[in-house]
């Protein structure tokens, strides 16, 4: 199939074409999905190398599931974000376990906000946002990133995180309030002072 025609197709159709051996379908899917899943994994893990591993693994799972893909039953974007969310959760758990083992007798910092404030002095606005996001509880971070950065609707987030829509609304609201609290008082560092 010509590349121009392929570019107009939905992700779901491209997955089916890939499964039928179309060599360009994988390239187009990777071009569409990889930046998004990499960005999401990067915000969840705050580690570029780990985010790349997760993004590659998520794409690999998509290639593997392609022959059984049923058009109309699920959106590829929702499906792959769910895979990324689960992979990130596994890695964050493993990280916490390793940290607990390594720092068995060393007290954890009481609050991530202090490091956020310190980090913002030299960081740009996006870095400050990422640091503040990293200080949020995992579920709140997932909900805020999926809603406000990745642009998913609440029902889609509920599908990705496999929770109810009400829980998504609650997590998003609490996460955003916590984020505002973490960033409050840092308007100058965020470049908003002139707007006042």
Distances in Å between the Cα of 132 and the Cα atoms of 21, 73, 110, 117, 137 are 44, 36, 15, 9, 11
Residues 6+ apart with CB under 8 A from 162: 82
Give the one residue of 7, 67, 103, 164 binding another protein; rule: CB under 8 A. 67
Contact 145/36 with Cβ under 8 angstroms?
A: no
Give the one residue of 9, 46, 56, 167 binding another protein; rule: CB under 8 A. 56
Q: Is 135 in the site for another protein (CB under 8 A)?
A: no
Cα separation, 19 vs 127, whole angstroms: 39
Site for another protein in 24-43 (CB under 8 A): 26-27, 30, 34-36, 38-39, 42
Q: State the greatest distance between any 2 C-alpha atoms of the chain, in Å, as a whole number.
A: 62
Q: Is 127 in the site for another protein (CB under 8 A)?
A: no
Count, residues in the chain: 196
Residue placing its CB nearer to another protein in the complex, 129 or 161 = 129
Give the one residue of 11, 32, 47, 63 binding another protein; rule: CB under 8 A. 63
Q: Please give the residue ranges that form the binding site for another protein (CB under 8 A).
A: 18-21, 23, 26-27, 30, 34-36, 38-39, 42, 52, 55-56, 59-60, 63-64, 66-68, 70, 125-126, 129, 144, 148-151, 176, 179-180, 183-184, 187, 190, 192, 195
């Amino acid at each position: 199939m010509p590349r121009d025609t392929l570019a107009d197709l939905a992700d779901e159709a491209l997955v089916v074409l890939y499964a039928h051996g179309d060599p360009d379908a994988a390239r187009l899917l990777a071009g569409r999905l990889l930046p998004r899943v990499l960005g999401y994994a990067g915000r969840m893990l705050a580690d570029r190398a780990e985010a790349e591993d997760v993004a590659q693994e998520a794409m690999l799972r998509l290639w593997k599931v392609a022959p059984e893909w049923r058009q109309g039953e699920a959106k590829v974007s929702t499906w792959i974000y769910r895979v990324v969310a689960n992979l990130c959760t596994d890695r964050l758990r493993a990280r916490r376990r390793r940290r607990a083992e390594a720092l068995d007798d060393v007290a954890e910092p009481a609050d991530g906000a202090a490091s956020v404030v310190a980090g913002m002095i030299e960081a740009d606005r996006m870095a400050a946002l990422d640091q503040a996001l990293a200080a949020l509880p995992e579920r709140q971070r997932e909900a805020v990133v999926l809603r406000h950065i990745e642009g998913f609707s609440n029902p889609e987030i509920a599908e990705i995180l496999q929770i109810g829509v009400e829980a998504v609304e609650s997590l998003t609201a609490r996460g955003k309030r916590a984020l505002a609290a973490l960033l409050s008082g840092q308007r100058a560092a965020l470049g908003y002072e002139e707007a006042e």
